[in-house]
Every structure is written in C-alpha cells, then in structure tokens.
Chain A
Amino acid sequence: MNRKRIIDIIIILVLACAPLFLNTYWVDVLNNIGIYAILALSLNFILGHTGLFHMGHAAFYAIGAYTTAILNTMYHIPIIWLMPLSGVLAGIFGYLVARPIIHLRGDYLLIVTIGIVEIVRIALVNNIFGITGGSNGIFGISRPKLWGFVIRRPQDFFYYIWIFLGISVYLFYRLENSRFGRALNYIKEDDLAAEGSGVDSSGYKLKAFIIGAIWAGFVGNIYASKMTIISPESFSFWESVILFVIVILGGSGSMRGIILGSFLIIGLPELFRQFASARMLIFGAAMVVMMIFRPQGIIPPKPRTYNLDFLKLGEAEK
C-alpha cells in the first residue's frame, strides 16, 4: 500500500517535470495522451462502471469542441467561459440522445451509439445550420487565458491539460466511491436486481451518460483551443473506438488502468513511428490477444474499501 503511494508520487513528479527534459514534440504527445485519458475516464462512467456499450463518445466531444469554436469565433467569448457552457450543452445533448435508447440491450446500444456519432459527423460535414464550416471545419479559435496568462505553447498546455486531468481524477474518485458509483456498479452487475433493490436503473444509466457527456464537452473545449482549428475528421467513429479500447484494455472501471491505457495506445505508437504503417495491424492483433488472455484489462479495478472503525468492531476490515 505504502509502496504504491511512493510510486504514484514519483510518477507525478516525473510527469510534472517532463516539459523540462522533453522537446516540444514529445510534450505534445503527452498532451494528446492527457486529452485521451480524460475522455476515456469520462467514458469510463458509461462503459466501465455501468457496463453500457457506448461507442459514440466522440459525438459528445464534438459538441463541446464545436460549441466552443462557434461561440468563440462568432462572438469572441473567451475560451475559459465557454468551458462550462460546452460541458452543459454536451450534457444536454447526451441526455437527449440517450433517453430514447437507454433501454436497449447491450449490442443494440453499441450499434445505435455508432449511428449517433456518424450522424453527428455527417451533420458537421454538411455544415448543419450553416455554422460548422463543413468539412473544412472552423479555424481561428483563440487560446485560453487564465488570469491574464495566455496558454499558448505545448508546455503551457501540458500543465493546463494534466492539471485538469488531476482535478478530474480527484472528483471521479469521490464519485466512484460513493452512492453514485455503487449504483452504477449494481446496474452493471445485474440491472434487474439493482432495480429490485430500489436503484432507479434507467435514471442512473442516463446520469452516467450525462456526466460522461459533460466531461467530454469540457475536453472538447480544451481541444478546440489547443488546436485552434477543428474539423469533423477529429470526431470520427474511430476516435470513439480508440476511447472504447483504452477503457477496455486499460481496465474497465479502473482509473489507473485507463491512464496507463492512454499512454500505451496513444503514446506507444509514437515510439514506433518507423513501423507506422504496421502499427494499426499490431494494435488490432493486440486487442484480440488481450481479450483472450487478460479480458479484465491491464490493471483491473480494486474492490472498494470501507472504513468501519466507527462500528468499533474487533474484526472490522480496513
């Protein structure tokens, strides 16, 4: 237990110093890893904790990014202010699309969520309402400004993204280890039994979608301001597949696993750029092998622990 904490602290320290010894390229790789990690953590509520096969997470991410891009380029609203709005709009969108489909069986839900992300992408390409800029997308998005400091260089974004990741992990940890997180796990285990124990199954499934969508919306805001250009290609179905795979390979329901998964799936291919063309091939084969030999993921979640000391029991578990 203690050793684990020391390792955690070392990793955090090394990461915090990373921009000092890495060149811009690698810092940017770390930024991408961070972005995918937050997205995968938000998907984790839906896929990992609740067990809903959701393969359209990029749709929520897209709503957040386009909300930011459109309002920033048209009305010059500062990026930071747009972050909560992007989250809320993505959350509302998540609620609206999830509501009619929430009762669908596992693999049907999977296909429908693929459909949703494709419809969103097609709508963006077709310049829906004349505001998404079609397949060229939107450019000229401003940088975020925090207390007068403009976040511009990859190094700035590194701290911006990874601190946001840290805050997310902190809040998600609390959410997981409480009434909310437990309810999601009950539904994953057996939604009928959960309902029979007094858990509002469809209500909580929707809530999982909403919280996941809100966070994806936040990340959309970060991404838009990092790139300053966004286009529908960034929110394709494949992005959703990658997020899905990060969660499953890392370990459904395990935040450590998912962050490690982001490093492996986003970071590792960068190390093997000379094999760039073969890396997707290896990626596919690895998925098959992984499911056969370690389906629970690289780092499966630990069971929750409860402090029962207040019951003053001799054999209370720590």
Chain B
Amino acid sequence: MSLLELRNLTKTFGGLMAVNEVSFSVDKGAVVGLIGPNGAGKTTVFNLITGNYKPDSGEIIFEGENIVGLPTHKIVNLGIARTFQTIRLFQNLSVLENVLAGCHCRMKAGMLACMFRPKWQKEEEKEALKKAWAELEFVGLSKELTNKAKNLSYGNQRLLEIARALATSPKLIILDEPAGGMNEQETQELVELIGEIKKRGITVLLIEHDMSLVMRICEHIVVLEHGAKIAEGTPEEVKNNPLVIEAYLGVDED
C-alpha cells in the first residue's frame, strides 16, 4: 500500500521548469531513493512534499489525503519529517534542545499551561525529554547532550538532524543527502542507521549522490533528469536502464 503518492507534480520558477509532471509513489515501510544528476529537481520535489514550495499543478497524496497547500508544520504534524541538504540546525542551542524541537508538534502546552504548569504539563515535558533522549541514543549522540549544535562535527550534525526529524514521530522521513560530507566509516554507520529506522516501521525517502549507498539500501529507485522522471524500479532495473546510463554519462558524480 502506498503511503505517499505524487501525481503529475509540476513546479516552475519564472519560466524555468524545475519539476515536470512527476508521478511516483512510496510504499509503506519501504526505503525509496530519488536520484538524478545535479539540477534534476530532486530537492525541489522534497520541498514540494514538505510544503516549502507550492506546486503549480498536481497532487501529493499522503495517507489518502491531498496535502498540497498545507503549511509545512501541519505536514510535519501529519507525519512527514525531513532533513535539509544544507544543514539547518539551531546552531546556538544545545543538542538536546535541537531534538526537543522535534517533540514540539506532539506536545500541547500553550502559553497559559506553560505559565501555570498544571500536572499534565510537567508530565508532558518529562515525556518529551525522554523521547528526545531516546532519539539521541538511537543515532548515537547521547553523549553530546549539552554541547551546542554548532560544535558538533559535520557528520554528527547530520545525525542530529535525523534525530530531530525522528523526534516528530514521523510515518515518513525524508533525507536530503544524508551522507553528504561524511567519511566512509560514518557512511557505513548511516547505512545501518537507516536500516534501523526502517525496522521501526518508518518509511524512508532519500536523495543521495553516493550511488553505492543508494544501491545498497533502497529497494525502489526513482530517477529524475531535467525535472522529469526518466525511470523507476529496483536498483537492478535502474542500473541497467539505458536512459539512466545516458543521463549519467559524462556527468561528474562524486
């Protein structure tokens, strides 16, 4: 059963066709990769799904509901969490507070509850701390708790973004180049982490330039070029697709 379905999604920026009639679906529990040469429109597709951009036309169906036009935080609330290609952490806040940001949307306390602190508010705060701690433990950052986000290594910042996204209790997590800037060992650990995320029953959709990583962990791959989908299928199918080979030939991929 598909958790997320894109139908004929189109987005232009002042005449430039960034995404052109793209359709694909992401099955529940799957790990799906979105690949393509630089400038193929992958990140734009992500920004459309998360509500950062509004599509010109097309539908995005999440759990049977069209989410086009909803503000980003509502989409997060429905269960789609993301990480950013260029890391966007709360640099001056502690690692723990960064993850608590993810817990925010599952909490209820408003202005008055925060001021007068009834018992349920205290419980809720405790639960959030537990959850944040658990997610940090999950990605292996629980020792960095009080460190400021900006003091983490690049690889750890990526992990922290994942922890923050997981803290929103998502059904679908969208990772934009999670291995970007990671060394080999870190990448290997990331592969294992994504496996763990899948085991928790969370569906994963990711953009990645590291082809070997994509081929290893994705069971389904969608290929974009010039904003349009040119192929999709299992890693084997995609690897042998002549259109894909052509699209990548001569393109410098690192």
Among B10-18, B85-93, B219-227, the one that faces the other chain is B85-93
Interchain CB contact under 8 A, B72 and A196: yes
Point out the residues of chain B lying under 8 angstroms from A196, CB to CB. 50, 52, 72, 76, 82, 84, 88
Known: A195-B73, A196-B72, A197-B104. A174 touches B114 (CB 8 A): yes
Asked if B126 is at the interface of the complex by the 8 Å CB criterion, the answer is: yes
Q: Mostly helix, strand, loop or mixed at chain A's interface?
A: helix
Q: Mostly helix, strand, loop or mixed at chain B's interface?
A: helix
Interchain CB contact under 8 A, A198 and B77: yes
Binary contact track B87-112/A, C-beta < 8 Å → 1, others 0? 01111111011001110110101110
Asked if B2 is at the interface of the complex by the 8 Å CB criterion, the answer is: no
Point out the residues of chain B lying under 8 angstroms from A186, CB to CB. 90, 93, 101, 104
Interchain CB contact under 8 A, A190 and B71: no
**Chain B, interface size: which category?**
35 or more
Binary contact track B135-152/A, C-beta < 8 Å → 1, others 0? 000000001011010000
Asked if A175 is at the interface of the complex by the 8 Å CB criterion, the answer is: yes
Binary contact track B111-128/A, C-beta < 8 Å → 1, others 0? 100111100010011101
Point out the residues of chain A lying under 8 angstroms from B203, CB to CB. none
Kindly list the 5 A-B residue pairs having the minimum CB-CB distance in the complex, ordered from nearest: A198-B105, A198-B76, A178-B114, A189-B90, A193-B88
A-B pairs with beta carbons under 8 Å apart, 30 shown: A174-B116, A174-B117, A175-B115, A179-B104, A180-B109, A182-B101, A182-B104, A185-B90, A186-B90, A189-B92, A189-B93, A192-B52, A192-B88, A193-B84, A194-B101, A196-B76, A196-B82, A197-B101, A197-B104, A197-B105, A197-B168, A198-B76, A199-B73, A199-B101, A207-B111, A303-B94, A304-B94, A308-B129, A310-B126, A311-B133
Interface residues of B (CB under 8 A from A): 50, 52, 71-73, 76-77, 81-82, 84, 88-94, 96-97, 100-102, 104-105, 107, 109-111, 114-117, 121, 124-126, 128-130, 133, 143, 145-146, 148, 164-165, 168
